[in-house]
Structure 1
C-alpha cells in the first residue's frame, strides 16, 4: 500500500527550458566570438562535469558559481542581472497541480526530491505556490548529494518512517527512477498528468 508520494520538481511539477540561459549569457560576454552558446551550456550543465554539479550539491555558493562563469566566459554581469536570466525558466502545469491537490485532499504525505540550487529554489518558493503544498523539500544543495546518488534517496526515510515499497516516486529521468526502484521504491518515469491519474484510479487512491 502506498503511504507516501515523492515527486521530482523540474519537468514534473514545473516544466522548464534552460537552454535559453546559455543563449542570453553568451550575449553578456566580452569575448563571445571565442565560444558558442552550446559550449557555454555544456560547461554549465554537463551531467558528469558541469559546473552545476558542485553548485547543486551545496559545494559552491551562488556567488562562487557566477564567479566561475564570469571568469571562464568573460561575462560582464552582476548577480542581479544573472538571476534575471537564470531564474525565469519555469512554468506551472495546471493539470499536474490538480493531481497534487487531489492527493493532498486525500491526506497523503507529499515530498519533493529535487536536483536544484539555491537561486532556483528561492525563486520558485516566491513564484510558484504549488511547492508549498508539499510536506517536505529534499533538495540536493541542502542534502549535499544529487540524484542518482543514494544519499538523497536515503533522505526520504530520515523524514518519514516508511518502507521503500510504500513509497511512489515520480521523475522525468529514467535513470533516477531506476535507482529508486533498485532501492525498493515504486517508481514511474513521468509523461503526463493523465498517466498519474491512471495510477491513482488503478490503485484505488
Structure 2
C-alpha cells in the first residue's frame, strides 16, 4: 500500500535531515595549516582561491579536535615575512633616475626580469648592463645596489620570533632572491644568523613555486615532507609546498602566525 502524500513528504524530509546530520558529523577541518585557524578558513579578498570553502563553521558547531602534526623542521620565506620593503618606492627611484613613467619602467622590468636574475642565469654585472641599455643610463653596480635595495629592512618583531623558534627547531631559509638583495640583507642585517641552511633561488637555479626548490629542502635536511612546516606570504608558494606534503602557513602577519604556531603546538 502506498503511503499518503503527506507521509511521503514527511519521510523525505526526515531522511534529508538525517543525511545532513551525518554529513556534518563527518566534516573535519583541513590538516593544512595554511587554511585553518580555530576551525575557520582564511579569507583573502584578493585571492579567489581562498573562497573555495566556507569561511566559518555553522553557528553553534565546534571544530573537532585534531591531532597536532609532528614537525621537525621550520622553513621560512624572506620577503614580506621577516624582511619588509615597498617595491613601489624601489621602482620610483629608477623612474626618477631614468626620467620615465611607472608604466614605461614596468616594461623594462618585464624584459630584464626574463633574464633570470633570481634563478642565477644572470648575475648582477650582466643584469645591470641590460638594465642600463634599456634605461639609457650608465649606472655603476654601487649605484644600482643603492636603488635596488632602497627601503629593505628586517622586521624586528619577526626576527625575535625566529630567534626563539631557532632554540627549539632547525630553521631553513627558502627564498626567491638575487645576488644584490641577499648580499645587502646579509651584510646589513645578518639575516643568515637565524638559519641552519640557506636555500636561495639564485644559488640553486630554481624559484618557487618550482617543486625542485622544495625538494632541495628535503634533500639537505633528510626530513620527510610531512614533518616540515613552510611559511610564505604567497598563496602559489604555499600551495606548491602543500602538494609535496609539507604543512603550510600563509603569512599574513605575526599575530596570525603566532596563533597558528600555537595551534600546531610549536609555541606556547
Q: Taking structure 1 as the reference length, what is the TM-score of the superposition?
A: 0.89
**Can you list the C-alpha shifts for 1:170-199, whole angstroms capped at 9, x where unaligned?**
000001101111111111110111122112
Determine if the alignment matches structure 1 residue 38 to structure 2 residue 97: no
The answer for the alignment partner of 1:11 in structure 2 is 80
Paired positions, count? 197
The more displaced of 77-86 and 174-183 is 77-86
Distance, in Å, in 2 between the alignment partners of 1:8 and 1:39 is 30
Determine if the alignment matches structure 1 residue 109 to structure 2 residue 170: yes
**Can you list the C-alpha shifts for 1:98-130, whole angstroms capped at 9, x where unaligned?**
221111122x01001000000110111111134
> Deviation above 4 Å: which 4+ runs of structure 1?
none
Is the 1:3–1:109 Cα contact (8 Å) retained in structure 2? yes
- Within-5 A mapping of 1:19-34: 19-29=88-98, 32=99
Is the 1:19–1:41 Cα contact (8 Å) retained in structure 2? no
Distance, in Å, in 2 between the alignment partners of 1:142 and 1:66 is 18
Choose between structure 1 and 2 for higher RCO, CA contacts under 8 A separated by at least 6 residues.
1
- Within-5 A mapping of 1:30-109: 32=99, 35-44=100-109, 46=110, 51=113, 54-106=116-168, 108-109=169-170
Stretches of structure 1 that go unaligned for 5 or more consecutive residues are none
The more displaced of 111-120 and 88-97 is 88-97
**Can you list the C-alpha shifts for 1:130-182, whole angstroms capped at 9, x where unaligned?**
43111111000001011111111111012111111101000000011011111
Distance, in Å, in 1 between the alignment partners of 2:158 and 2:114 is 27
The answer for the alignment partner of 2:185 in structure 1 is 124
- Within-5 A mapping of 1:132-171: 132-171=193-232
Is the 2:112–2:130 Cα contact (8 Å) retained in structure 1? no
Give 1:173's match in structure 2, choosing from 222, 230, 234: 234
* Change in CA separation of 1:52 and 1:132 when aligned onto 2, cut-off 3 Å: farther
Question: Residue 43 of structure 1: CA displacement?
Answer: 3.3
Q: What CA RMSD, in Å, does the superposition of the two structures yield over aligned residues?
A: 1.7
The more displaced of 148-157 and 84-93 is 84-93
Q: Per the alignment, in what secondary structure is the counterpart of residue 60 of structure 1?
A: coil
Determine if the alignment matches structure 1 residue 194 to structure 2 residue 194: no
Distance, in Å, in 2 between the alignment partners of 1:8 and 1:131 is 12
Is the 2:90–2:150 Cα contact (8 Å) retained in structure 1? no
**Can you list the C-alpha shifts for 1:23-62, whole angstroms capped at 9, x where unaligned?**
2112222xx3xx4223313532x5xx65166011100010
